[in-house]
Each structure stands twice: as C-alpha cells, then as structure tokens.
Amino acid sequence: MIKIVSSCLILFFLSVNLQAENGHSLWLRSQSSSPVSVICSKKSIVTEIARQELLNGWQGQPGASIKLIVKQDKQVKGDGYKLTPEGVQANTDLGVLYGVYDLLRHQQTGETINPGIFNPSYERRVLNHWDNQDGTIERGYAGRSIFWRNTKDSLNVTEADKKLWREYARANASVGINGAVLNNVNANADILTDVYLKRVKAIADEFRPYGVKVYLSAKFSAPSQVGGLKTCDPLDPTVIKWWQAKVKEIYAMIPDFGGFLVKANSEGQPGPQDYKRTHADGANMMADALKPYGGIVMWRAFVYSASDNDRAKQAYEEFLPLDGQFRDNVIIQVKNGPVDFQPREPFSPLFGAMKKTSLMPEVQITQEYLGHSIHLVFLSTMWEEFLKSETYQEGEGSTVARCTDGSLFPQKHTAIAGVANVGLDVNWCGHQFAQSNWYAFGRLAWDNKLTSDQIADEWLKLTFKRNVAETTDWQDNFLKPVKQMMLDSREAAVNYMMPLGLHHIMSANEHYGPGPWWAPKRMRKDWTPPYYHQADTVGVGFDRTHTGSDAVSQYHEPLHTLFDNIQTCPDEYLLWFHHVPWSFKMKNGCTLWNELCYRYNKGLHQVRDFQKIWDKVQPYVDGERFVQVQSKLRSQSRNAQLWKDGCLLYFQQFSKMPIPYEIERPVNNLEYLIRNDTTRHQNYEQ
Amino acid sequence: MIKIVSSCLILFFLSVNLQAENGHSLWLRSQSSSPVSVICSKKSIVTEIARQELLNGWQGQPGASIKLIVKQDKQVKGDGYKLTPEGVQANTDLGVLYGVYDLLRHQQTGETINPGIFNPSYERRVLNHWDNQDGTIERGYAGRSIFWRNTKDSLNVTEADKKLWREYARANASVGINGAVLNNVNANADILTDVYLKRVKAIADEFRPYGVKVYLSAKFSAPSQVGGLKTCDPLDPTVIKWWQAKVKEIYAMIPDFGGFLVKANSEGQPGPQDYKRTHADGANMMADALKPYGGIVMWRAFVYSASDNDRAKQAYEEFLPLDGQFRDNVIIQVKNGPVDFQPREPFSPLFGAMKKTSLMPEVQITQEYLGHSIHLVFLSTMWEEFLKSETYQEGEGSTVARCTDGSLFPQKHTAIAGVANVGLDVNWCGHQFAQSNWYAFGRLAWDNKLTSDQIADEWLKLTFKRNVAETTDWQDNFLKPVKQMMLDSREAAVNYMMPLGLHHIMSANEHYGPGPWWAPKRMRKDWTPPYYHQADTVGVGFDRTHTGSDAVSQYHEPLHTLFDNIQTCPDEYLLWFHHVPWSFKMKNGCTLWNELCYRYNKGLHQVRDFQKIWDKVQPYVDGERFVQVQSKLRSQSRNAQLWKDGCLLYFQQFSKMPIPYEIERPVNNLEYLIRNDTTRHQNYEQ
C-alpha cells in the first residue's frame, strides 16, 4: 500500500519498457521454464504447437520426458484427451493440444495432475463476435474489431492482423474454445461476398492450427441482397440453390468452415416468417445446404413481438410447437434467460422443454447489461447458477447443463455460445478482470460442472502470480480476498442494479446506467423499463403468475407452483414473477420497500469494499494493471451510487415510503438523472 | 418521512399557490397577531414603522398597551434602546424601531423578555455589496444585483425596485444592520457620476425609514477617470478639491450618506502608492472631505504583493507603521484572517496591534470559499470563534471583539462589515440556510457577545416554526437536530475542504472545488495553492515559525510562542504555521497523514449525516423549502467527496502513504479532477 501514486508511476514506466504486464498476455503469461523432452507420435502443425508450448512453458520435473500420442480410445470423446503419467493421449491432434494446455495449467497453478480422461461437455464451444464489417462492435467495450476495419484497405491482411489472430486463437485453444462467429448476428449480407470471404479464409487459416473453426452470421435476406434474387423464401428452389452454391463456394475456400449463425424474424431482422414459413423451414433449408460438408446452423430463438402480453413467454411459445421439426444439424441457440442477458433471470423454460431438438445455451461475455468494461463483474457465478438450474423436465438432476450437453437427450450436435468481449484494446477486454469472463466461458464450455471458485482460482493464479512458486503470503493476502471479490461481484451488481428479480430497468440504448423511468411516447412498450417493473402505488414487479401473464406455467413442476406462489417464490425472482405490494412482508421480516433499499445500499457498499480489497493488494500487483483496476473500481463505485440513487428515488415516487434512516442518503436528484439520461455516459469513466 | 417524493410535489404546488414558503419572507414571516394598542411619544416615519410592526406582529398579551418613547438616557448609547414593562425607550427614533424588533423577536421565539438596556457593540453595522453596475455580483451566488441592472433603462427606478429595497432595508433593520455599501470594492469610478448617484439617492430614500445608510466604494482613480484630472495624487490640491466637490454633491442629494469604502493598492486597484504616498495620505484626504458631513472612510487593509515571502504577513507590515497617522473618521477595514476568508484562519494580527487607529473587522457572508450557495454552512460559529479570539494585546480578555468595539481602545468610530450574500433570487441568498448567515452577521454586529447557539436557535424558530406555539415535539425533533447540524456545519466544511490549518487550496477562479494542484507556469505564486500548502516529500504546511517566514512573531505573547512550537500549536492551525512531516505524531497519536485522511473522511460523513437529519425533519418543513435544502445537501455531499478525493489523492503523491484501510476509498481519479478543473463547476449543482 505504500507509495501508491509515485510507485504506480514508476511501475507504469517499468512495465511499458518491459512490455510485460499490460494484460495483453491474458492468462498465458510467459513463465520461466525447465528443460523437457517431448516425443510426438504424429507430426502436424497442431502437435508441433503442442510440443512448443511444452518446451516454452514446462514447469514440471526438469529434464522430464513427455509423450504426445494420437491414438483412438473409445473412452475419449471428441476433443477429449487422456492424461497419463507419461504424457497426453487423444483421438485427434487437437485433443493432444488441449491436453498439453491442461497439463501446463496444472503446473502453473500448482495443482496436482491426476491422470484420467477429460472430455468436453459440448462439441462446439463457440464465441459469437458481434463485430460489424466497419470495425465497430455492437455491445463491444474493448475497442474496435480484431477482424474488421473501416479503412479502405480493410480487406488487406497484414502480418500484424495474422499475429493478433494467432494470439486470439491460442488464447481460445488454451481454454478449449473451438469456434468463432466472425460477424454480428445483426448481419450484413455482404459478409457472404467474395471480397469478405477472402478475409474470412485468411482468418480461418490462422485459426486452424489452434482448432478454432470460423462461422459466419448469415443474413436471411442474402439471396436478394447479394444474390439478386427476387425472393428469399426458403422453400423457393432458386433460393435453395443459391444457398447451396454459396455454401459450396465457402467450403472451397474454408474446408473446415463451421456453419451459420442466424438471427431471423427478430428485432427487425428478415426471416422465413416474411414468407409465411416457419423457423424450421428456414433453418432446415440452410442446414440441408451445409450438411454435406459437416456444417451446422445455429438458429437463434431470441424472438418477441410488441403485441404480445409478455415478452418473456414468446420464445417458448414460438419454438416449442416446432420441436422435432428441425434437421439434426440445426441447433437452436437460446439465451440463458427468457428476456435478454439481464443481471439475473431465471433460466429460459425452453431448456429441457424442447426434447427432440438440439438446444445450445447462449450467454453474454461482453457486459452489455453488467457495467460494460467498467464494472468488475465475474460472470462465472451467473453461468454456473444457470447451468446448474434444475428444470425438472426429466425429474431431479435435469439441470440446464444436462438438458443441453447430450447427457439427457440424444442430440446429434451439442454446443454453447458466448457473446465475445474481445476488441483491439491492448488487454483484449477493456477491463483486466473481464478477461476472466472469456476464460470462464471457455472453461465452462469444456466442463459445465466446474465451480466458479475453481475457475477464479485458476485464472487469478495464471494472471497475477508474480513467479512460479508464490508463497502462502500471496495466497492469503492476494488470492483469497481477490477471489472472494470476484465470487461476490455478480451478486453485488445485481444488488446495485436490479435486485429481487427486477430486470430491464437500465437506461435506453447504452444499457449502462439506471433508467427505470425511460418511456418515450409511441415507443414500443416492451422496449421500455416500465413494461418490466410495472411500478405503481400498489407495488412493483411483473405479474407472471396464473393471474398475470402465466409465464410460470412454462416451467415444469415443482417450479411452476413454487414460482407462482408469492410466499414460496425465491427472493431473487420475486419481482420477476410477482407484482408485489410495497409493504409485503419478505421472508426476513422486512417490507419489500425496505428490502429494496437495503439491497441497493448493500450493492454500493460491496463495491466500496471491493475498492478496499484492491487497494490492499497493491503490493502484489504490477503497477499498470493495479492502477487500471483501481481506476475502474472508482468508476464502478460512482456508478453504483447512480444506480442506487436513480432506482430508489424513482421507485419512491410510487412506494411513498421513506428510505430507512440507517441507509446513506441519495446524492443525486431524480430530475437530474432523468434529464441527463442520454448524455450521462460521458461521465461513466474518468 | 413518509411519502417523500410525491408529498413533496404536492406540498410544492401548495406552497407555490400560497406564495407562502419560498423563503422570500426570510425570518420575518407573517404571523397571526393579537390586538395591541401603541402609544408613541413622537411621530415620525421611523416610529410609524415601529407602530405598524407592533400592530401586525404582536403576540403578547391581547389588548396590551405599549409605549414607544424617544427620550435621552445616558445609559442608552447610539442606536441602543431600553425595554421596560411598559414598552420601548430610546434616544432616537431608530433606537425605538430596533427595540420593537427585539420585542417582537422575543415574542415569536417564545423567549422571556427581560427589561434592560441593549446597546449595540458597533456604531456602524455595514453590509458590503460586491455588486457591479452591470448587475453582476462578484462572488455572488444568489442571482443578480438587487441594486443594479445591465439593461439600458437600468437607472430608471421602478416601483418593484423600491418595494424590494424596502424589504431589504426592513430585513436589515430587524437585525440591526444600519449601512450598506452599494457597489463592488473593485469599484467602477462611474458610480460617482450624476447618472448613478441619482439611483443611489433613490435607494437611500427607501432605506432611510429603516435607518440603513448608503455607502459607496470609491475608486481612487476617480478624479482622472470621471473628473478629467491628470493626477489622483492625494496631496495634489486639484485632487483634494475634486473629492471635496464630489462629496458635497453627494451630500446635497443624500444628506445622511455614510461614506466611502476604498480598496487601494490591492490586487491591481489604484491607490496613493501610485504617487508614492501612503495609505494614510490617501485615506486622510478622503476623510477630510467627508468630515464636515459626518461621513467616514473605510479603508481596506487587504494588501499583498507577489514579491514578498509570505502574503499572510503583509497587511500587518504595511499598516502597523501607519498606526496613529489616520484621521479619526478613517476606519481600517481588516479581514478576519491574514489571508482571505478561508474556511479557517487565525485572526489577523493587526487586531489589537494597531492601538491608535480604528479597526473594523470584515467578514464574508457570501460563501466564496465555503461552498457558494450550495453548501449548508452556518458561519456564525466561525465569526464567534474570530470575535472571541484572544489577542492578549492588553492582557487576557483582549479579544478581537474588544479590540474593535471600543471597549479596549478609545475609537471615535466603531464598525463591522460583512460581504453580503444577497441577490435577486426569490429567497434572497440562494440557499435557505444562507439566510441564517445574513441574520447572524446582523445579530453579532449588534451584540458581539452572542453565542452561535442562541443565534441559530432564534433564526430557526423565526424561519421554520409553523405556528406560534410549537410543541415540545417540534423542539425535540426539528429544532434540536437542525440546530446541531447548523452548529456543526462549518467544522464539517473545514474538515472536507481544508482541515488542520490548510488554506487556499481551492480551485482557481471559482473558489469552489478542490484545486491544490493548480499552478500554471508564470502565474503569481501567491495566487496558487502550492504556495500555501507547500507539500513535498517531507511534509505539508506553510512554515511561518521563526525558522520560516516568522509570521508568528506578529502575534502577541503567549500566542507567538504557542504557535511557533509544533508541539503546542493547536491542531486547527498546525499547517498554517508549520511545515509538518507526514509521519509527525499528532496529539491524538495519529500520524499527520492518517489524521488528514480521517479529517477529510469525517467531513464527508458529517455531510451525509446532515442529509439524514434533514430527511428526518421532513414532516416539520413545508415542501418547497424542504426539497430545495434536500437537493442542495445532495450536491454538498457529492462535492464533499470531490474535495476529499482530490485533496487526499493529491497529497498522497507526496506522502506516499496509504489511506487507512477503514476509510472509504476515493471514487474519483486525480488525473480526471485535474484535467477537468476548469469545467467541473458545471457539475456542482444538479
């Protein structure tokens, strides 16, 4: 803690000189290595990478001899591998590489390596990049796209491009991610034209040695937009032919192309319903075109219309009737919750309900609703909560994880997607700690039974250990408190943003600060926060019980009954499912209003505690990363206060109840927050 | 506390409709009155006002009979009065009026009226308005000038003008203020031209019935600027003649004109030194011109040059040698502290040291350095501390009050000045609680032995009582906590702005937020905060001991020795007099650095407590004033955090010591605060 400012400056210059700790190395920081000899049963680009990683990063017995064996083993599945006392064995070259990364991770974290077989939970572990071809990124907070540029020569591939793509692919491979959708789901049809496909091929070429397949978001209207056809009707023979030809063209360039991601008939995007066809009609047409090459279609279930009574019900209502009608190389990509990546949602009831269709979870790594790259929020706990949610669809143990990874239902393909948080920022993710979310997504995609505790533990050791053998002091005074901060961070964000089941009350457009008041006239109601919080003088919350929208009925028993009853509904989903009177007595004896005040206040104080924790670990952190995180935490603290003030003062207009005396008073005026809603983003970060 | 927002809205509309509690009535809110008969020994405009005030505001025995008697009594001095069981007696009509206001104040506050004689501490109790002729006010935070406008017809006097001036004069009279300087000390010579003097006369005509004399700030260069002379040398016969003629002209229009206030050879203003004459030469020349009419010169001692080694010493060094050289109708106007109206300064060592010259204290009611009209800071405690400061110049009991009120030294005239905080804002002062500072100045000018407790008590009762007979409940739950808040408020501001003797570390120009870093190249050093705080790696504070600038030697023993010794120097003046090592052990055992952290943190938390106190008294306050004060307190709380963050992070660069763990972390980055120094005022108030 001594010499905060000046020592930070000194360390800053040191680290700039050393190009060392600016975060660009992610969790793959170069470590001193011991000599090791590596014997490889098969020589390929992939196994050569594995060998080099071992030579560069070996921290086991000096002079040890390691065998890398590619050999069929029925117990090893897909990209899986087997760790043996002699080395790594896998069915594929890539499996060997994954095994090597696992081995090295164990050495670097100091964990014991237990021999055994390690198979991935999902076949396809895919990042979705919402990158536009002009280089911007929708909901990206870490600089511009690493794939696309807005300059005229944007399609020329440079050596710097290739180096960055290889670094990116290596980072993905090191945590088991094997696919990347290179463009925004709100797609530009141009991506399917030759000029762009050439760059896609160049990217694929750099990714290939690391086992990362490229996918593209395909615009459903592409046959018209870039193919000159008069229709895009999926049952029209010319359309079918167009897609077949396009797919053939792609595979000629990229033989291991992964397939298409499609957002159709959703938020204004074109789709089969424009031609009175179903989602199945559309998806199957594309799937048929991809099938000969092993490609898949990831078809998003993120659909809702302004006219329906409850947006949370619509994906289920629209897709469940189609169960069984999709080709086996179609996977329906379903967001974790029924609305849209909110700080907390119950799981989407589609999981487990669609039994004859492959479903893949879509989570959001980029923190659209969770503080962008300003707030420190470790999302692993959110995803763990989601994956371990009980659907009860096949009795107890029917978790979302098991409903999607093939262990409950016989799926031809399994997959999981995460919306990437990667950009051109030197540290990739904007916030040093946002890297942990990229890491966590990969680790959970590989093993959906991992705990967030373990993931945070691994990531912190890989990312912040100063030398191979850290002491107990480091464990006690850095690892332990910082890990706890990470594990608490998502609940803190829920507390200061949307506690007790509140959702979608953020400011418009930017989705950053509070905006429960935002409701311009003539705006689609389901795009305004009041639609979701329903605050009035009686109470607050969306009535989704049997007397309300009855969204509860989409959940399998006993959840249906549990959620439907205000007395048994868990606190964290209370306002998701119920319109609750302000004076309702919570399980802890508080009124709803007071509890809401306490939660917001607690969230703010949690962030203040994070600031203390971080300041205290300064001696253990290099200067540049320390100062960056310290500065971001300050912004998070200021902004948590904005959330608390904005939401409490707004809801107080309805509750007409006082903020409990022991709670710190608001320091912002509601009128000011409302008036400055659209410009306030300028003050997000200092 | 129930129904904060909506009830505020309701009350807001109610009070707007009733034109009731917007604060315009100050401490003179109309009360229901009982019948009373008033017998007056002398009929004049002044006694008629006194009679009317009694008829409108009587709350004593219904049907009582009150006598107002103008009669010479040697025990009654100047504007003093005698309260008897029958009524009020005084030497002058004005004395009767003051007695009536006192009588009514006692009735309204419910205090017992003890018969006795009540003489004023000072003969001249004057407000200095820093109003420019274009209607702006230097350091004014309550709207534009009530005297001047920037429109073309600005010199036309309207009925609305006259009404406002009468209201202003009445407010002054009610607390004993009997003079007002109508224009800025940084004077525009035009004020002495006929066209402006006509408006001055109109103002004087409205003030006269309330006993408020008008004064003008005279620019020393006026003979050249508006008189066409080639010199302004005070010993030049043409100059002397010009001033004599000008004074004659003024008195022909305004027979009771008070005199001139002069800022000469100070901060670029012209003065006698421009002609190698002394301040005495200049002041005496003007005094001689005024003498035949009973006018006085208030000559400011606020002088300092950039070349000297310690600004705090200069007024003393320049004026003490002139002691005894001034005419008896010159009063040297000395700011309370040696620098400039800082949140806390020791008293100016001129007080008591100039024994053969009349000195008048100048305090600042407008909160230039104390949060403008945004922060709630009751200044009475500061002035009480100042007036009760022991100078020891004539042994124990030689307080500043006694050194200036004529009780220690035989002064022909005594006076006290306060820089006004009045503007066109409907509530006069911008902040409802800033009215209390106007009130307190008047009350202390009348009786410099009053306690701040009593003044706050009176003001709160007069300003916030909802009806004549408030209950114990009101006393316990409103009066007591709010009074305590007022009494603590200045110390809170010292804590979050400039604790432990720090001074002049505010942001440039605006003098609002923190700016300890502000030091542009080529800027006069004595206008930059680093000149005053002297922070370096060793410590912080201005060394004014015998090894430093030796300003301590300007104080009479035992203060000289007390202040000179770091071990005995009071904490509140420590960094004023000493450059103290960061690790210096304070009297309470803390290091200086830690104590600085605790003080800043305490200040912030004090403001947060004020917010709680105010929210809790909501049931006792009308809606409009409640919401206004609540909103200002929110701004004060945000800005106290800016002060704490800015100062601690800035000084930490030098101390290189950690902020104690138990203290809330900064939420702003130093670089941001520095970068946005000049624009940040936009965020002061929401």
Q: Any CB–CB contact under 8 A between A43 and chain B?
A: no
A144 pLDDT above the threshold of 80: yes
For chain A, which residues make up each domain, given as ranges? 31-118, 124-452+459-464, 494-542+579-685
- Taking an 8 Å cut-off on Cβ atoms, the answer to whether B5 and A653 are in contact is yes
A183 pLDDT above the threshold of 70: yes
Q: Rounded to whole angstroms, how far apart are CA atoms B26 and B608?
A: 26
Partners of B652 on chain A (C-beta within 8 Å) are: 4-5
- Taking an 8 Å cut-off on Cβ atoms, the answer to whether A7 and B656 are in contact is yes
Query: What's the confidence (pLDDT) of residue B33?
Result: 84
- Taking an 8 Å cut-off on Cβ atoms, the answer to whether A658 and B608 are in contact is no
Q: Any CB–CB contact under 8 A between B238 and chain A?
A: no
Give the residues across from A330 on adjacent strands: A297
Q: Any CB–CB contact under 8 A between B606 and chain A?
A: no
A73 pLDDT above the threshold of 90: yes
What pLDDT digit, counting tens, does each position of B32-61 carry? 789 999 999 999 999 999 999 999 999 999
Partners of B375 on chain A (C-beta within 8 Å) are: none
A511-520, A524-533, A564-573, B27-36: range with lowest mean pLDDT = B27-36
Question: Regarding beta strands B179-181 and B213-217, do their DSSP bridges make them parallel or antiparallel, or are they unpaired?
Answer: parallel
- Taking an 8 Å cut-off on Cβ atoms, the answer to whether A661 and B616 are in contact is yes
- Taking an 8 Å cut-off on Cβ atoms, the answer to whether B661 and A631 are in contact is no
Residue B36 DSSP label: E
Q: Any CB–CB contact under 8 A between A653 and chain B?
A: yes
B682 pLDDT above the threshold of 90: no
Q: Any CB–CB contact under 8 A between B612 and chain A?
A: yes
A677 pLDDT above the threshold of 80: no
Partners of A674 on chain B (C-beta within 8 Å) are: none
A477–chain B nearest CA distance, Å: 14
State the distance between the two ends of chain A, measured CA to CA, in whole angstroms. 22
B467 pLDDT above the threshold of 50: yes
Query: Rounded to the nearest 5°, which phi and psi values hold at A261?
Result: -110, 135
Q: For residue A70, which of A86, A91, A52 has the smallest C-alpha distance?
A: A91
Query: What's the confidence (pLDDT) of residue A46?
Result: 98
- What is the rounded average pLDDT of the residues A348-354? 98
A to B CB pairs, distance under 8 Å: 93
A538-542, A668-672, B28-32: range with lowest mean pLDDT = B28-32
Query: What's the confidence (pLDDT) of residue B506?
Result: 95
What pLDDT digit, counting tens, does each position of A549-597 carry? 999 999 999 999 999 999 999 999 999 999 999 999 999 999 999 999 9
Partners of B656 on chain A (C-beta within 8 Å) are: 2-7
CA atoms within 13 A on the CB side of A685: 15
B655–chain A nearest CA distance, Å: 8
Partners of B629 on chain A (C-beta within 8 Å) are: none
A672–chain B nearest CA distance, Å: 6
- Taking an 8 Å cut-off on Cβ atoms, the answer to whether A6 and B612 are in contact is no
Q: Any CB–CB contact under 8 A between A611 and chain B?
A: yes
Q: Any CB–CB contact under 8 A between A658 and chain B?
A: yes
Query: pLDDT class for B494, splitting at 50, 70, 90?
Result: very high
Query: What's the confidence (pLDDT) of residue A404?
Result: 98
What pLDDT digit, counting tens, does each position of A232-259 carry? 999 999 999 999 999 999 999 999 999 9
Residue linked to tokens 């046959």: A223
Query: What's the confidence (pLDDT) of residue B8?
Result: 39
Judge whether A331 and A405 are in contact, CB under 8 Å.
no
B159-168, B297-306, B442-451: range with lowest mean pLDDT = B297-306
Catalytic residue, chosen from B267, B476, B536, B664, is B267
A15 pLDDT above the threshold of 80: no
- Top CATH class of B31-118 equals alpha beta
What does pTM read for this prediction?
A: 0.93
Active-site residue, B536 included:
no
Q: Any CB–CB contact under 8 A between B682 and chain A?
A: no
What average pLDDT does chain A have? 94
Catalytic residue, chosen from B368, B405, B425, B526, is B368
Task: Say which residues have a Cβ less than 8 Å from residue A290's Cβ, sequence separation at least 6.
Answer: A247, A259, A260, A296, A297, A329
Query: pLDDT class for B7, splitting at 50, 70, 90?
Result: very low
Cβ atoms within 10 A of the Cβ of B643, count?
27
A 167-226: CB under 8 A from B: none
Partners of A667 on chain B (C-beta within 8 Å) are: 611, 634-635, 637-638, 641
- Taking an 8 Å cut-off on Cβ atoms, the answer to whether A665 and B634 are in contact is yes
| Structural element, H or E, at residue B247 | helix B237-253
What pLDDT digit, counting tens, does each position of B109-148 carry? 999 999 999 999 999 999 999 999 999 999 999 999 999 9
A337 pLDDT above the threshold of 90: yes
Partners of B661 on chain A (C-beta within 8 Å) are: 612, 615-616
Q: Any CB–CB contact under 8 A between B633 and chain A?
A: yes
Q: What is the ipTM of this complex?
A: 0.90
- Taking an 8 Å cut-off on Cβ atoms, the answer to whether B634 and A666 are in contact is yes
Q: Rounded to whole angstroms, how far apart are CA atoms A463 and A107?
A: 14
Partners of A375 on chain B (C-beta within 8 Å) are: none
A158 pLDDT above the threshold of 50: yes
Task: Say which residues have a Cβ less than 8 Å from residue A230's Cβ, sequence separation at least 6.
Answer: A224
- Taking an 8 Å cut-off on Cβ atoms, the answer to whether B612 and A661 are in contact is yes
- Top CATH class of A494-542+579-685 equals alpha beta
A18 pLDDT above the threshold of 80: no
Q: Which SS3 state, helix, strand or coil, does residue B179 take? A: strand
- B666: nearest CA partner in chain A: A634
Ordered DSSP codes for A85-136: SSEEEESSHHHHHHHHHHHHHHHHHT-----EEE--S-SEEEEE--B-TTS-
- Taking an 8 Å cut-off on Cβ atoms, the answer to whether B670 and A3 are in contact is no
What pLDDT digit, counting tens, does each position of B262-295 carry? 999 999 999 999 999 999 999 999 999 999 999 9
What pLDDT digit, counting tens, does each position of B503-537 carry? 999 998 899 999 999 999 999 999 999 999 999 99
B11 pLDDT above the threshold of 50: no
- A629: nearest CA partner in chain B: B669
Ordered DSSP codes for A326-388: S-TTEEEEEESSSSSS-SS-PPPTTTTT--SSEEEEEEE-S-TTTTTTTS---THHHHHHHHT
B548 pLDDT above the threshold of 90: yes
Q: Any CB–CB contact under 8 A between A59 and chain B?
A: no
Partners of B2 on chain A (C-beta within 8 Å) are: 656-658
Report the percentage of chain B scoring pLDDT > 70: 95
Query: What's the confidence (pLDDT) of residue B155?
Result: 82
- Taking an 8 Å cut-off on Cβ atoms, the answer to whether A656 and B6 are in contact is yes
Give the domain B124-452+459-464 fold. TIM Barrel (3.20.20)
Residue linked to tokens 């964290």: A572
- A668: nearest CA partner in chain B: B634
A538–chain B nearest CA distance, Å: 13
Nearest to A1 among B608, B633, B658 (CB): B658
Partners of B657 on chain A (C-beta within 8 Å) are: 2-3
What pLDDT digit, counting tens, does each position of A588-614 carry? 999 999 999 999 999 999 999 999 999
Partners of A612 on chain B (C-beta within 8 Å) are: 661, 665
A309–chain B nearest CA distance, Å: 30
Catalytically annotated residues of A: 267, 340, 368
Q: Any CB–CB contact under 8 A between B615 and chain A?
A: yes
- What is the rounded average pLDDT of the residues B647-674? 96
Partners of A641 on chain B (C-beta within 8 Å) are: 667
What pLDDT digit, counting tens, does each position of A467-489 carry? 767 789 999 999 999 999 999 99
A640 pLDDT above the threshold of 50: yes
- What is the rounded average pLDDT of the residues A87-103? 98
What pLDDT digit, counting tens, does each position of A381-408 carry? 999 999 999 999 999 999 999 999 999 9
Nearest to B666 among A634, A657, A671 (CB): A634
A678 pLDDT above the threshold of 60: no
B 1-20: CB under 8 A from A: 1-7
A20 pLDDT above the threshold of 90: no
Question: Regarding beta strands A124-128 and A179-181, do their DSSP bridges make them parallel or antiparallel, or are they unpaired?
Answer: parallel
- Taking an 8 Å cut-off on Cβ atoms, the answer to whether B634 and A608 are in contact is no
- Which among A5, A11, A649 is the top mutation candidate for probing chain B, defined by the most B β-carbons within 10 Å of its own β-carbon? A5
- Taking an 8 Å cut-off on Cβ atoms, the answer to whether A665 and B616 are in contact is no
Query: What's the confidence (pLDDT) of residue A150?
Result: 81
Query: pLDDT class for A125, splitting at 50, 70, 90?
Result: very high
- How far from A99 is each of A415, A458, B189, B410, B641, CA to CA, in Å? 20, 16, 89, 98, 52
- What is the rounded average pLDDT of the residues B450-471? 92
What pLDDT digit, counting tens, does each position of A303-327 carry? 888 778 899 999 999 999 999 999 9
B619–chain A nearest CA distance, Å: 11
